[in-house]
Structure 1
Amino acid sequence: MRISTAQMFNQGITSVLDRQSATSKILDQLSSGKKVNTAGDDPVAAVGIDNLNQQNALVDQFVKNIEYATNHLAMYESKLGTAEKLVGSTREQVLRAVNGGLADSERQMIADELKGTLDELLNVANSKDESGNYMFSGNETGTQPFAFDATGNIVYSGDNGVRQSVVASGVTIGTNIAGDSAFMNAPSGMGDYSANYLATQAGDFKVESATVPPPITPAGQTYTFTMVGADLEIRDATNTLVQTEVNFDPSNPIVYNGLEVKVDGMPADGDEFSITYQSNVSIFDTINDAITLLESPNKINTPQGKAELAQVLNNIDSGVNQISIERGVSGNGLKALESHNMTHVEEKVVNSSALSMLEDLDYASAITEYEKQQLALNAVSNVFSKVGSVSLFDYI
């Protein structure tokens, strides 16, 4: 078979170009350290590499979210820890004032200490984060959450929003604690109601609890209890007599329309008290109640004062417990974030190992292959050069 000069030339050029391309590919691999630089190098491996890179990018974003959430929850845990200590100290301050040997001026000093504690607690509740946003405002981060209103009560201006951070596929964790849940919504120390006592109270008694057991919903009414002789009369908000406890025995609870009231002690004839629906209490209001009680001359040693003191102490305990619960929420969040972070670190190690197997270059093999391709390229080039220079006139 005859081979034309053009065919011989084209075959020679093609061989040289193929060897140059193979050599160039190995040089690119040696330069990048990767054996798959384009999809054309290994289509199957390229798909796997792309998927693993996407997974790693997602994991990196999760880790950033975890860092953000961890920093914020750590601040909440710290602030709530401070608040817990402050509220806990108010109980000790109030109990100091119970000492019957204290003069009114000394109780006023304790009341002033409570005012200072209240101011400190208010500062904690109005804390800002590193960006200048109010921490305990829920989603209303630009609004100061707590302030005194015209009547001297502290009101909440934020909302109950909890901002979520995505920390894993299908997993979100709250990065804030709303101020109303931490400081405003502690369960009433008495259950579903609060009690009001009169200055004329003669009997040594207090309302121990006033609850509406589930699934009954509290009616939200105010009830007045009056001791008439040996009987206890119960009237509703319209002053209508609704029930009479004949020969009232405080060892037995008062039950009416699903409401269960337990009284500790025996009211005297003519004593009257009322209960008002209040399932949640603000720790700020509780401290204000304690201050008011201590600033009333010698009231704390009266039957009315003792009954109010018991309610204040119960509400303080409930307030401390509520702050502790919310602090526990932030602590549990931190623990969960740490667990997810460890999972992501392990996932990144597995992915990186798989990536290495798919794309990392074996330098020893690559260098050997480069030497072979270089040798082949030189041989092809020499052959092409020799054949291309052959002429019939050289043999005449």
Structure 2
Amino acid sequence: MRVSTGQIYNQTASNILQKQSETNKVLDQLMTGKRVNTSGDDPVASIGIDNLNQRNALVDQYVKNIEYTKNRLGVTEGKISSTESLLNSMREDLQRGANGSLATNERQMVAEDMKNSLNELMSIANSQDESGHYLFGGTQVNTIPFAFDANGSAVYSGDSGVRNSVVSSDVLIAANAPGDSVFMNAPNPLGDYGVNYLPSQQGDFTVESAKISNTATHVSGQYTFNFVDNAGVTDLQVVDPTGTTTTFANYDPSTPVTVNGLEVKLDGKPVAGDSITLEPQETVSILDSMNDAIAFLEDPDAVSTPQNKSKLAQLLNNIDSGQNQVSTARSTAGNSLKSLENLTSTHEDEKVINSSALSLLEDLDYSKAVTDYKQHELALDAVSSAFSKVGNMSLFNYI
């Protein structure tokens, strides 16, 4: 078989290029420290490497979300903690101001202190973050959330929206605490109705509970409780929202009464001539409670009338409910922070595992790579040398 000179040159050049390619491949591996630099180096390993890199990128995003959420919740938890301390101080001021031994001007000084504390409380409720967004506005971060209206009632302009952060696969954690869940919607300690004690009150009593016991028969609206004299005993007449009067003869305060599915229990002893009204009220606001406490202390007859004594007991109950709500909000934020710490550790462990797997798939065995490089270099030199000698061969060299 005849082999042309052109064929010899083409085949030898192809071999040289192949050896050069193999040598360069190993040289690239030595330079990068990676066994797999392209999918062609190891298609199966390349798929695994891509999956692990994608997973690591996702974990990195989770970690960023966690850091953002931790910062937000850390600030929120700190503000709520300050609120707790402030509320404790204000409650103590109320009890101190309600001391019957204080003079009117001394009680007024306590009220002024509470006003300053209430302003501070409102400032906390309207706190902003470093971007100027309101912490306790829900999703309405650009609107000031809390204010008092012309009637002195707290108004919430935010919403109940929660801004969730994705901190792990299928795991969402709230990065904020809506203001209504912290400062506004504490459970009514009486149940479903609030009480209004009237100036005509002479008996020493308070409403212990006012709960809807039967929703099917309940008629919502204002109920008036009139205590009337009946031949030396006290009867209770309850006027419901429709104007219907129900009479409980020889009323025993220790026994609850039920009208239209509304069960009411009193603590103490009303006397004939006393009256109270009850209206639907599911929640109480700590802001309103503290504002009412200030108004209570500013009343010259703050602790000298049966009405105000009953109002004070109710105020303290409302404040306690508001404080419990604030403490619950702080616990929720604290538990979320703890969960974020645990998730951070989990993600760090996952990154370690993924990095180990990546190392097994793509990291270079330097000793083997150096050996391979030497072998390819030697083969390339041999092919090049042989080609050079064969290319210079001529019949004239042997004549």
Pairwise TM-score range, normalised by the shorter structure: over 0.9
Q: Does 1:39 align with 2:39?
A: yes
Aligned CA distance change for structure 1 residues 82 and 275 (closer, same or farther; 3 Å): same
CA distance in 2, matches of 1:24, 1:265: 97
CA distance in 1, matches of 2:240, 2:312: 25
Q: Number of aligned pairs?
A: 395
Q: Does 1:292 align with 2:287?
A: no
Q: Which residue of 2 aligns with 1:72?
A: 72
Q: Which residue of 1 aligns with 2:343?
A: 340
> How many Å apart are 1:203 and its aligned residue?
0.8
Alignment gaps of 5+ in structure 2: none
Q: How does 1:312-327 map to 2 (within 5 A)?
A: 312-327=315-330
Q: How does 1:259-278 map to 2 (within 5 A)?
A: 259-278=262-281
Which AA in structure 1 matches 2:206? Answer: K
CA distance in 2, matches of 1:332, 1:211: 32
CA distance in 2, matches of 1:106, 1:128: 36
Q: Which residue of 2 aligns with 1:20?
A: 20
8 Å contact kept, 2:256–2:263: yes
8 Å contact kept, 1:224–1:234: yes
8 Å contact kept, 1:98–1:301: no
Match of 1:303 among 290, 303, 306: 306
Question: What is the RMSD of the two structures over their aligned residues, measured on CA atoms?
Answer: 1.4
Q: What is the DSSP-based 3-state SS (H/G/I as helix, E as strand, rest coil) of the residue aligned with 1:36?
A: coil
CA distance in 2, matches of 1:349, 1:218: 62
Q: Which residue of 1 aligns with 2:130?
A: 130
CA distance in 2, matches of 1:152, 1:290: 12
Q: What is the DSSP-based 3-state SS (H/G/I as helix, E as strand, rest coil) of the residue aligned with 2:247?
A: strand
Name the TM-score, length of structure 2 as normaliser: 0.96
Q: How does 1:166-245 map to 2 (within 5 A)?
A: 166-213=166-213, 219-229=219-229, 230-241=234-245, 243-245=246-248
> How many Å apart are 1:301 and its aligned residue?
2.6
> How many Å apart are 1:5 and its aligned residue?
1.6
> How many Å apart are 1:321 and its aligned residue?
0.3
Which AA in structure 2 matches 1:285? Answer: D
CA distance in 1, matches of 2:242, 2:370: 99
CA-to-partner distance for each residue in 1:170-221, whole Å, 9 max, x for gaps?
1111100001111010111211111111112111111111112476696431
CA-to-partner distance for each residue in 1:26-64, whole Å, 9 max, x for gaps?
111111111111111111111111111100101100100
8 Å contact kept, 1:202–1:271: yes
> How many Å apart are 1:238 and its aligned residue?
4.6
Identity of aligned residues (%): 56
Q: Which residue of 1 aligns with 2:30?
A: 30
Which AA in structure 1 matches 2:64? Answer: K
Aligned CA distance change for structure 1 residues 76 and 18 (closer, same or farther; 3 Å): same
> How many Å apart are 1:2 and its aligned residue?
3.2
CA-to-partner distance for each residue in 1:220-269, whole Å, 9 max, x for gaps?
3111001112210100235431x211111111111222211110111111
8 Å contact kept, 2:222–2:240: yes
> How many Å apart are 1:120 and its aligned residue?
0.6
Q: How does 1:54-73 map to 2 (within 5 A)?
A: 54-73=54-73
CA-to-partner distance for each residue in 1:136-195, whole Å, 9 max, x for gaps?
111110000011222232211111111011111111111000011110101112111111
Q: Which residue of 1 aligns with 2:394?
A: 391
CA-to-partner distance for each residue in 1:359-382, whole Å, 9 max, x for gaps?
111111111111111111111110
8 Å contact kept, 1:84–1:323: yes
8 Å contact kept, 1:199–1:304: yes
Aligned CA distance change for structure 1 residues 181 and 219 (closer, same or farther; 3 Å): farther
Q: What is the DSSP-based 3-state SS (H/G/I as helix, E as strand, rest coil) of the residue aligned with 1:301?
A: coil
Aligned CA distance change for structure 1 residues 326 and 94 (closer, same or farther; 3 Å): same
CA distance in 2, matches of 1:99, 1:149: 30
Q: Which residue of 2 aligns with 1:360?
A: 363
CA distance in 2, matches of 1:299, 1:50: 74
Which AA in structure 2 matches 1:349? Answer: V
Which AA in structure 2 matches 1:123? Answer: S
8 Å contact kept, 1:281–1:315: yes
CA distance in 1, matches of 2:119, 2:243: 40
8 Å contact kept, 2:220–2:241: no
Q: What is the DSSP-based 3-state SS (H/G/I as helix, E as strand, rest coil) of the residue aligned with 2:303?
A: helix
Q: Which residue of 2 aligns with 1:282?
A: 285
Which AA in structure 2 matches 1:174? Answer: A
Which AA in structure 2 matches 1:352? Answer: S
Q: What is the DSSP-based 3-state SS (H/G/I as helix, E as strand, rest coil) of the residue aligned with 2:373?
A: helix
CA distance in 1, matches of 2:220, 2:366: 80
8 Å contact kept, 1:193–1:279: yes
CA distance in 2, matches of 1:268, 1:168: 63
